[in-house]
């Protein structure tokens, strides 16, 4: 096991999770950021971060941080932190391919006494059941004799400039008591909010996967309430604001549930539960409700258009916002795509406008080319899907000006006053 003052870190994966972590460690100790994406490394070497998670001045402060795509340059490192994504496939099954490949890469440079810490969201047991055997096989070393492991789940909230990596309390764990102490001490060098040392790697894995499962279920409940209140002719937000006057009522809002965590993590837990013979009911019910909301929004807008005798076929529809959350360029698993696809089944002409989105990424991920200029008096329906500040600044009048004399404006995110829109969740 390395001494803390002799630690040479390698961060594997430099996305929304890995880069902020690498920058903070790079202020304190020798840190190498590794990514297989050459364009990403070139961008970071130029002092820029396209995810907008780390400002150029913060990158410059990490004087002990270097970047590389060359695996051989990690051989001198003795602590490896793996921060690669753990997505789901089109059947909502956990896809551990990035994690398995990262483990294979680390195994090629692993030396006796080294520690491998995983931050990627997984089901309880995945680190020891999936990752460790790959490390052993690739390196030829024995777990908990020649090398060790830890797990410290990421808690990054993309686009959030208040809750950042250093100010979010960190859960830590290790494969032995001594390693658990080392991992905890290592993170304490950068985490000002403090740490919570779990009793085992499995406990830390489980803690992470239920954080977002709990949020997913809470939002699913509010989404279901929205479906009910709409049928009753009651405004959902007014109900929630009234109920929110009680001190212990949780302030959740209905909406589209996308992103790399809340809409993904529950499937990691349910997959593992099914493997051990338990069929989850509440968790999967919540997922079904949340995954249906894009189609529900489209259905409501189509009904409103029909009432105004606006033909849906060949209509012009504008979607404002494509990212999975406001004021953030992250497109991962955005559920706005569900609205777009639903309208396309009606043979509507759909334009997507989002000032935060990288056009090439949108084309690559979803085959969508966002428009760059908004057309006045052009649209039969406008859906405000993401509450970017730019849309708030446009206001209801500015957005209505994009529509024809007869059009529908639907507000998914409660961005505009109730009286200024035709409908909202």
Closest C-alpha among 349, 280, 345 to residue 314? 349
Rounded CA separation 64/83 (Å):
19
State both tokens at 9: 């870190």
Dihedral, 340, 343, 348, 349 alpha carbons, nearest 10: -10
Q: Would you call 8 exposed, middle or buried from its count of C-beta atoms within 10 A (0-12, 13-18, 19+)?
A: middle
- Yes or no: say if 204 and 152 are a contact pair by the CB < 8 Å rule: yes
d(CA 345, CA 34): 42
Which residues have a Cβ under 8 Å from the Cβ of 294 and sit 6 or more positions away?
A: 256, 335, 336, 337, 338, 339, 341, 342
Bridge partners (DSSP) of residue 410 are 383, 423
Instruction: Identify the three-state secondary structure at position 129.
Output: helix
Interior angle at CA 209, CA 208 and CA 212, nearest 5 = 95
Residue that the structure tokens 């990035």 belong to:
98
Is 261 catalytic? The answer is yes
Residue 87 CA to residue 267 CA, distance in Å, equals 10
Q: For 128, which DSSP code? A: I
Q: Which residues are paired to 403 by β-bridges? A: 379
* CA 328 to chain centroid: 11
The one catalytic residue among 77, 131, 261, 328: 261
Is 391 in contact with 414 (CB distance < 8 Å)? Answer: no
Q: Which are the contacts of 185, defined by CB distance < 8 A and separation ≥ 6?
A: 4
Neighbours of 189 (CB within 10 A): 13
Task: Give the residue numbers annotated as catalytic, written as ranges.
Answer: 261
């Amino acid at each position: 096991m390395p001494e803390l003052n002799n630690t040479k870190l390698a961060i594997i994966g430099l996305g929304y999770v890995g880069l902020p972590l690498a920058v903070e460690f790079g202020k304190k100790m020798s840190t190498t950021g590794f990514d297989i994406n050459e364009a990403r490394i070139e961008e970071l070497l130029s002092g820029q971060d396209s995810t907008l998670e780390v400002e150029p001045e913060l990158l410059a402060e990490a004087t002990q941080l270097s970047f590389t795509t060359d695996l051989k340059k990690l051989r001198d490192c003795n602590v490896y932190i793996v921060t690669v994504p753990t997505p789901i496939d089109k059947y909502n099954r956990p896809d551990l391919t990035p994690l398995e490949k990262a483990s294979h890469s680390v195994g090629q440079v692993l030396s006796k006494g080294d520690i491998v810490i995983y931050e990627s969201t997984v089901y309880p047991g995945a680190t020891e059941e999936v990752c460790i055997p790959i490390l052993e096989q690739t390196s030829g070393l024995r777990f908990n004799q020649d090398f060790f492991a830890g797990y410290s789940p990421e808690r990054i909230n993309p686009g959030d400039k208040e809750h950042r990596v250093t100010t979010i309390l960190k859960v830590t764990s290790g494969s032995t008591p001594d390693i658990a102490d080392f991992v905890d001490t290592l993170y304490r060098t950068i985490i000002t909010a403090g740490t919570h040392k779990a009793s085992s790697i499995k406990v830390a894995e489980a803690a992470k996967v239920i954080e977002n499962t709990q949020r997913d279920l809470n939002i699913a409940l509010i989404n279901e309430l929205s479906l009910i209140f709409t049928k009753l002719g009651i405004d959902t937000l007014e109900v929630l604001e009234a109920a929110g006057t009680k001190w212990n009522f949780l302030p959740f809002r209905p909406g589209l549930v996308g992103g790399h965590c809340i809409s993904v993590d529950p499937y990691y837990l349910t997959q593992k539960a099914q493997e051990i013979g338990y069929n989850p009911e509440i968790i999967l019910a919540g997922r079904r409700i949340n995954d249906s909301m894009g189609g529900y929004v489209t259905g409501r807008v189509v009904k409103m258009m029909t009432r105004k005798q606006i033909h849906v076929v060949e209509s012009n529809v504008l979607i404002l916002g494509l990212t999975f959350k406001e004021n953030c360029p992250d497109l991962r698993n955005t559920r706005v795509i569900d609205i777009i696809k639903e309208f396309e089944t009606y043979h509507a002409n759909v334009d997507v406008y989002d000032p935060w989105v990288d056009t090439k990424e949108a084309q690559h991920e979803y085959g969508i080319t966002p428009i760059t200029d908004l057309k006045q008096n052009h649209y039969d329906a406008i859906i405000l899907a993401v509450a970017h500040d730019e849309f708030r600044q446009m206001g209801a009048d500015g957005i209505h000006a994009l529509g024809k004399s007869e059009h529908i404006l639907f507000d998914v995110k409660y961005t505009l006053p109730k009286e200024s829109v035709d409908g909202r969740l």
